[in-house]
């Protein structure tokens, strides 16, 4: 009989009768209860077993998929850990390199600091040098102005100096052939070169010619009374004198003496004749040894020929009884004297020799307005080079009436 509380349309649920059967089964025995219960629950669960199995399978599939994903993730994690370990190794290596680089950078910075210090010092020195150079350039400019002024003064005085120096071109004692030889000898001893005029340009020929025409050529102020004993004469020997015979016992007389300008002069002839015979002997030797007159030889052969005379290569017997080195020394001394004497004597034209040797002549420190005193020049710790002044220039500066253009 239907339950009055059963609503229409609801699913059928176990009724009271069923529960009564169950209760009777319980009373009857446990086995019957068990069968009834299984039947009941199977009836109740039977409707859901299919869907439950499906859900469980789905869950299992999801679980399996999740496990696979977990495994994959684990693999990825392991790979990432391996990569991380490798990256950490690289980072450690890079850190070491960075430390080394930083140490090198520190050293480089230290060196750079030292270089900067040196550069600063060098810049300071450069600045000081530039300042000194600027100052020196100013002084040079000032000196150039003074040089220009002095050059003008020298040029203005040149004609006057030449007029009163007695060195008009032309010889008064030497013959023309002798003059040619003297000129060649002077050029050999002090040649023209990049340093300035030589002895020829400075008037050596005219100086020597004038000297041979005066006291020098005539043995002025020389003892001319014998006995004359030639150098390298072997003893013993006896010579006459104003006090009677004089005997030299032994040895070689004056064997090692080198004389010049009359010193130890032992020839019984004037120096004018000494030069005449010496020039003739030189020409003879030059022809026999080098194939031509001395003045026609090449510069190299002229030097070699003159050196032969210094070394006494020609014998005295073939050199007009004159010791060759005596003549060579006299030529050398007179050439040098022509280059360094006052222009008034015929040589040192344009004061070329004084300029070359830095001789001031008669300039005592202020002739051209240098503003120095003789005392300052004497106590100076370094040499002072002054423009030279000749005797003629000095006389002209005194403005003596009737002398070198002086006012009357």
pLDDT score of 343: 95
| pTM score | 0.54
pLDDT score of 262: 44
Give domain limits for the chain: 16-44, 165-359
Angle at 183 between CA 339 and CA 324, to 5 degrees: 90
Task: Report the distance separating Cα 178 and Cα 211, nearest Å.
Answer: 14
pLDDT score of 243: 64
- Residue 372 — left, alpha, or beta (φ > 0 → left; ψ -120 to 50 → alpha)? beta
Contact 268, 244 (CB under 8 A): no
pLDDT score of 1: 45
pLDDT score of 121: 84
Closest to 277 measured CA to CA, from 191, 203, 178, 345 = 178
Task: Report the distance separating Cα 66 and Cα 63, nearest Å.
Answer: 5
Which regions of 237-385 does DSSP assign to beta strands (E)? 237-239, 246-248, 252-253
pLDDT score of 247: 73
pLDDT score of 268: 80
User: pLDDT 10s per residue in the chain (408 long)?
Assistant: 444 444 444 445 555 555 555 444 544 444 444 444 445 545 555 555 566 678 888 888 889 888 888 888 888 888 888 888 888 888 888 888 888 888 888 888 888 888 888 888 878 888 887 887 778 787 777 767 665 655 555 454 444 444 444 445 799 999 999 999 999 999 999 999 998 999 999 999 999 999 999 999 998 877 776 666 666 666 677 766 656 676 766 555 544 444 444 445 778 889 999 999 999 999 999 999 999 999 999 999 999 999 999 999 998 888 988 899 999 999 999 999 999 999 999 999 999 999 999 999 999 989 999 899 989 988 989 888 999 999 988 988 887 776 666 655
């Amino acid at each position: 009989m239907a339950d009055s509380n059963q609503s229409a349309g609801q699913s059928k649920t176990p009724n009271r009768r069923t529960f009564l059967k169950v209760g009777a089964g319980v009373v009857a025995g446990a086995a019957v209860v068990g069968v009834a219960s299984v039947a009941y629950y199977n009836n109740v669960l039977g409707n859901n077993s299919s869907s439950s199995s499906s859900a469980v399978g789905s869950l299992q599939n999801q679980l399996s998929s999740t496990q696979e994903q977990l495994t994959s993730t684990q693999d990825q994690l392991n790979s990432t850990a391996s990569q991380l370990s490798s990256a950490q190794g690289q980072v450690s290596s890079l850190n070491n390199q960075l430390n080394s680089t930083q140490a090198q950078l520190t050293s480089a910075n230290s060196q750079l600091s030292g270089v900067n210090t040196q550069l600063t010092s060098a810049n300071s020195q450069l600045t000081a040098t530039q300042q000194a150079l600027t100052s020196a350039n100013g002084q040079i400019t000032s000196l150039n102005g003074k040089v220009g002024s002095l050059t003008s003064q020298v040029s203005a005085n040149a004609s006057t100096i030449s007029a009163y120096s007695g060195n008009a071109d032309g010889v008064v004692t030497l013959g023309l052939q002798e003059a040619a030889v003297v000129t060649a000898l002077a050029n050999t001893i002090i040649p023209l070169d990049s340093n300035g005029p030589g002895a020829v340009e400075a008037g050596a020929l005219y100086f020597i010619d004038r000297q041979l025409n005066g006291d020098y050529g005539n043995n002025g102020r020389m003892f001319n009374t014998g006995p004359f004993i030639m150098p390298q004469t072997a003893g013993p020997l006896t010579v006459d004198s104003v006090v009677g015979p004089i005997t030299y016992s032994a040895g070689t007389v004056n064997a090692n003496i080198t004389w010049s300008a009359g010193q130890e002069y032992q020839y019984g002839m004037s120096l004018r004749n000494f030069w005449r015979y010496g020039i003739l002997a030189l020409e003879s030797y030059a022809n026999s040894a080098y194939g031509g007159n001395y003045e026609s030889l090449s510069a190299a052969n002229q030097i070699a020929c003159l050196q032969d005379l210094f070394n006494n290569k020609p014998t005295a017997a073939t050199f007009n009884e004159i010791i060759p080195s005596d003549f060579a020394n006299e030529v050398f001394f007179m050439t040098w004297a022509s280059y360094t004497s006052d222009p008034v004597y015929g040589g040192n034209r344009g004061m070329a020799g004084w300029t070359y040797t830095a001789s001031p002549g008669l300039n005592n420190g202020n002739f051209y307005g240098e503003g120095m005193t003789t005392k300052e020049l004497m106590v100076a710790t370094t040499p002072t080079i002054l423009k030279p002044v000749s005797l003629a220039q000095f006389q002209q500066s005194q403005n003596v009436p009737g002398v070198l253009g002086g006012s009357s």
